[in-house]
A = this chain, B = another copy of it.
Amino acid sequence: MSELEGNCLVCQSGGPTAVINASLAGVIEEALNHECIEEIYGGLNGVVGLLNEDLVDLASESQQTIRLLKSSPGSALGTCKFAFKKDEDLERALEVFKAHNIRYFFYIGDSESMAMLDQLDALAKEQGFEMRIIGIPKTINNDISATDHTPGYGSIIKHVATTVREMACDNESIGEGDYVSILEVQGRNSGWIAAGAALAKRRDEPHDPPHIILLPEIAFDPEKFVADVQKVLAREKYCLIVVGEGLVDLDGNYVSAKASSTDAFGHVQLGGAGEFLRGVIETRLGVSARSCKLGVAGRAATHNASQADSDEAYQAGSAAVVQAVENGKSGKMITLQRAEADSYKCETGWVDLSDVPATSKQLPSEWINDDGISMNFPFVKYATPLIQGEVQLTWENGLPVFAKIRGSRVDKLLSAYEM
C-alpha cells in the first residue's frame, strides 16, 4: 500500500457526548504519528464548516489543550445537525477537499452522518480524487447498529446509575412508604439510556432502586404504573422511578405532550415525561412526588464520565487514522467489538459505511424483564464493562477546566458558498 500524502480534516457532528472530544484527541494524536499527513485541520461546526471552508489548524494547538480534550464535554470544534440537502453540497465538499489537499477526512457522528459520509466517499471515487474517508461513531443513544456499542453511551449510563444511587440514599433517608421521586433521562426514541439505570442495582438485589424503569419501548399504561408504584411503596420506604424522555402512551403519543401547560402568555408548552408522571402519582395516589431532569446536563457530565468509554472513544479516533493511513481504507466506519476473552476487552474493527443501517439499533426486548420495568442479567452483563473507571478532570480553584480550541484559521481559498 503506497502512502497517500496530504492533509487531514476532522469534524464533529450531532449532539455532543461526554467523550466525543476524546475521539477528536485520538485522531489528532494519531495523525501526528504519520509523516504522510502534513497538516491536521479541524472543521468548525461539522460539515457546515467544511462547506464554508471554516477550517482551523489543529497542529498549532498546545499539547495541553489536546490532552485536556480527553476530559472536556461538548464538541470542541463545534457541531451541527446539518445534512447535505443537494448534490451541490457534496460537490462543494469535494472542492474544499481538493483546494486544501485534504486526503483524509474523519467524521465523528451518528448513523445519519455515516450515510452522508458514504455519499461523499462515492463522489470522491467517481471523480477519481484519491482520498480516505472514515467515520467514527458517537452517540449517547447507543443506537448505531453496526457496532457493539457507541462511544458516549458508557459515560451517560455511568452518570445515570450514579445519580440513581445517590438519589436512593437521599430518598431512603426521607421516605417512610410515601416518597416518590422520578429521574427523567434522555432518549427520545429508545430506552438504552433509561435501561442503564439498572446498573445501580447491586447484584442479586432486584428490589434495589431504580424500582421502576419506564422505557419508550413499552407503551405507558397508567393503571399498571399506579399498581407498580403502590407495590413498591408497600415494600420499600420510597419509590424511585427512571423514565426515558420518549415515553409513549398506548396510542403511541409522547406522554410529555400530555403534560402540556399554559404559560404566562396563554401559550401551550410541553412539560417532560417526568413531570407527567409526577402528575399521575400525585393525583392518583395522593402522595407527593418530585422529579429531576438530567437533560443536556447528563450528556455533558464529563465530571462523571467512564474511563473505559473515554479510552474507547480515543481508540476509535486513533483507529480511524490507522485504518486510513496504514491500511488504505476508505468508506468505512470504525466499530467497537468485544474481543473473544474471559474478561471484557474492546477492539476496534470497521464496517462499510453502506452497511451501517439507517435504522436505530433497538434495545433488545429479551433484555427487558417480563414485569416491563426492569432489565435482566444479559443487559447488565452487556453494559457493566462500559462504565468502568473514572475520568479525572483538571480542577482549578474548585472547578473543572475544559479545553478550548484556540482555532487558528486556515486561509480560505474558494469563493463563499450558498448553503
> A residues near B, CB below 8 A?
12, 15-16, 45, 72-79, 158, 161-163, 165-174, 176, 181, 183, 199-200, 222, 249, 255, 258-265, 267, 269, 271-272, 275-276, 278-280, 282-284, 290-304, 306, 308, 384, 387-390, 395, 397-400, 402
Contact = CB atoms under 8 A, between A and B. Distances in A.
B280 A271 contact: no
Nearest to A45: B176
B292 A295 contact: yes
Given A16-B170, A74-B172, A158 B399 contact: yes
Given A167-B297, A169-B73, A173-B74, A263 B292 contact: no
A89 to B, nearest CB: 18
Nearest to A76: B173
B283 A75 contact: no
Number of copies: 2
A47 to B, nearest CB: 14
A104 to B, nearest CB: 23
Given A181-B296, A260-B261, A261-B279, 17 more contacts: A16-B174, A76-B173, A77-B173, A167-B297, A222-B264, A255-B264, A260-B262, A261-B261, A261-B262, A264-B276, A264-B279, A269-B282, A292-B294, A293-B295, A303-B303, A384-B398, A387-B398
Contacts of A73: 166, 169-170
A262 B167 CA distance: 27
Nearest to A401: B165
Contact of A402 (B165, B181, B280, B291): B165
A77 B169 CA distance: 10
Nearest to A293: B293
A45 B167 CA distance: 17
Given A260-B261, A263-B283, A292-B293, A300 B16 contact: no
